[in-house]
Structure formats: C-alpha cells, structure tokens
A = this chain, B = another copy of it.
C-alpha cells in the first residue's frame, strides 16, 4: 500500500466546493410540501414513487396534502427498485406524455429520488437518457437548461439521495451500473420526516443503516481535496474529495449513529432512535455528496450484481438480492484496514466516534474493522461475502466488477490495484 503523501501532486488543489439542498426536518414536515411548492408558483406536479411505498399509502397522503394548497398532484408509482435504463426511460416517457409539470416530488428510497432526478433532467433538457449518462457508457452531456424544483422525501434512512447530485442506474444490455452526475440534479428541497421511516422493517433499517455508516466513513477517509491536481473551474465535479465541511457532516453522522443505530434496528418504534437515524442519513449524504465514496461502494456493485440465490430478511422475496447497504458493508472492515496507513488518525477517530467505549487494540489498524464487525454482528448483517453466496473462486470476478468503477475508486486515498482488491475480497469471505 502506498501512503497518501505519494499522491500529493506538484500543483495541488486549493479550492473545495460545497452544495446542499434546502432542508426541512422533523415530525410533520411532509405535510407542508404543498405550501413549499405554492411559493414557487407550481400548479401541477408529479409525485414519483415505487409500488411498495405506494402500498403503504405515503405518496397518496403527500399528494392529498399538496392538493389542499390548490396544486394538482399526480402519482406515478412505476419506479423500479434499483433503477435501470429501461425503468428510467419508461418513467421519462410517462412524464413527457403527461406533462408539462411545474415540479417533481420524490417519495421513497434512493430509487424513487434518483428516478425523479432523471425525469426532471429529461423533461427540461433535450435529448435522451444515454446522452447524459456518464461516458464511456453514455455520452456524458451537460444539461444546459435549468431544471424544475425537485422535492425529495426519503422514506428509508439510508441513501442520502436527497442530498446528492447523482442518479445511479443499471444499463441492462451492458450489465453495468453507472450514473448521471451533475450539480443541477441535486434536489432543491429535502423534506426529512422521521415518522415516514417508523414502519421500515428491522432488516431494512440494518442494511440501509450500514449504507449511512459507510457514506460517513468513506467520505471521511476519501482522498483529500488538496491531494488532487489543481482543477480548472470547468473541470470541477460535485465530488471534490474530503474537506473540512464534509468531515464535519461525516463525524456528526457517526456520533448520531453511535447511540441510535442498534436501538433503531432492535425497536422500530423507538422514535428518538428513528429521528437520529433520519438525521444521520441526511448528514452523511451532505458529507459524501460533496466528498465522494470509495472502495466499499465500488465493491458493492459486483457483490449486488453477481448475486446467486441470496435472499435478505425483510426484503421482497421474489428475486435473489443483496441489498445495497449490506453489499457496501461486507468489504468495509477490510477496506478500512487497507486504507488505515493513509490517515491513521482519521480511522481511529472514526472508530472512537462510532463506539466511544471501545478499547483500542494493540494493532491500531484493527480498531475500525473491529468496531464495524462488532456492530454488524449485533444487527444481523451476514458474516462476510461467503454468507451471501460467494467463495474463493468468485474473487477474480468480483475484482473485475469493482475495477469497472474507476470513478469511485479514484476517490480512494491511495492507489487500489487488482491484488489489493483481491486481498480485500478474500479477507472479507468470513469477517469474524
């Protein structure tokens, strides 16, 4: 492993950027969206959700409350969980046929929020989906027209998609996960109402919570902004590396989770724990949405994409699936052991924030991995990738899949070679 100092460039970056949506947080916040839309002059809006969330009645209730402010609100519940190019194109066609819309409201998890970002982009800017998907998969065009207001209302505590500028999708023909990334995709208003998450089942709280945790830990340990070459303004991207602001959000998210994560998994009716987790999800999103994520997220793509026949507790039983947050977490302990030497004090501080009572082991590089595996074991996350169906002979394929995520791996604090990934996957077969 190379140390971070080897990456300090000749002409280091001196500038970082920070963007965030307006935020309205608290019990009852989701009932006020009609007012927030009315001040924009909106008359007709589209509520974007998936069938599962719709079955719980939340988007319909949001739409009814919006209508009380004299705004016509139509519900589209065709979001595909883990959006694909096909599902996004379907949603865009629906919105184009039924438009024009003055604003969009996403109600659900990251899939609904990301789908609404794509709808917003493709109903305000010319062209087709693949024109805007990151190159080389798509043409990587920049939207030139302003987008409409987008209100994001998360119903799971995990993705932080309400804070970010990216829309993640599977391109089915190419069997590749990629995204659309531009500052204009960021929601204009995030409405975080912890009461919407109270019905989230325990297994979902555990997996989605590991996503939050990894957002915070990866942004805290991402390559610092000044370790990049100085950029010209037109080269800046929303993910600019770890910086004093993203660090602050990440650390605060870890502090909130240290007292609430186990409680929220154990007792879904613990409203205080739910409120802290909802806040932590948003805080972590505000961190990684500006800093970036790295190895655990890159590894999650093949872990989820190459699933054999694993079914996760509390998730739909139809298709085999490793939930995103679970997939992210399974190599996190070993990834942070690998990155430890790039910034020991950051790894140690993260472990202490997450588990203030834990004792430091003699081998300090084990501190954060130990704290993570203790937590994962307590909340019912599988004990490594073997438990979700992978064996040693799968490692080469997993490495190949992770290496396709070069945009993500570039945010790691050091070079990540094939053999480094192979070692991380192998050590992650069984974690404890």
Residues of chain A having any CB pair with chain B under 8 Å: 13-20, 22-29, 32, 35-36, 233-234, 244-245, 248, 252, 279
By secondary structure, the A interface counts as mixed
Query: By the criterion CB–CB under 8 Å, are A16 and B26 in contact?
Result: yes
Find chain B residues with CB under 8 A from A35 CB: 233-234
Distance in angstroms between the alpha carbons of A26 and B228 in the assembled complex: 14
Query: By the criterion CB–CB under 8 Å, are B22 and A15 in contact?
Result: no
Query: By the criterion CB–CB under 8 Å, are A23 and B18 in contact?
Result: yes
Query: By the criterion CB–CB under 8 Å, are B26 and A15 in contact?
Result: yes
Find chain B residues with CB under 8 A from A29 CB: 15
Q: Could you tell me the distance in whole angstroms from the C-beta of A248 to the nearest C-beta in chain B?
A: 5
Distance in angstroms between the alpha carbons of A22 and B17 in the assembled complex: 8
Instruction: Name the residue of chain B whose CB is nearest to the CB of A225.
Output: B26
Query: By the criterion CB–CB under 8 Å, are B279 and A244 in contact?
Result: yes
Distance in angstroms between the alpha carbons of A252 and B18 in the assembled complex: 16
Find chain B residues with CB under 8 A from A252 CB: 244, 248
Instruction: Name the residue of chain B whose CB is nearest to the CB of A243.
Output: B25
Query: By the criterion CB–CB under 8 Å, are B14 and A18 in contact?
Result: no
**Central interface residue in A15, A20, A32, A244, by most chain B CB within 10 Å:** A15
Evaluate whether A20 and B17 lie within 8 angstroms (CB atoms) in the complex, with A32-B233, A279-B244 already known: no
Evaluate whether A25 and B32 lie within 8 angstroms (CB atoms) in the complex, with A244-B279, A252-B248 already known: no
Instruction: Name the residue of chain B whose CB is nearest to the CB of A245.
Output: B23
Query: By the criterion CB–CB under 8 Å, are B28 and A23 in contact?
Result: no
Find chain B residues with CB under 8 A from A19 CB: 22-23
Distance in angstroms between the alpha carbons of A30 and B17 in the assembled complex: 13
Evaluate whether A17 and B23 lie within 8 angstroms (CB atoms) in the complex, with A35-B234, A244-B279 already known: yes
Instruction: Name the residue of chain B whose CB is nearest to the CB of A226.
Output: B26
Q: Could you tell me the distance in whole angstroms from the C-beta of A277 to the nearest C-beta in chain B?
A: 13
Query: By the criterion CB–CB under 8 Å, are A17 and B27 in contact?
Result: no
Query: By the criterion CB–CB under 8 Å, are B244 and A36 in contact?
Result: no
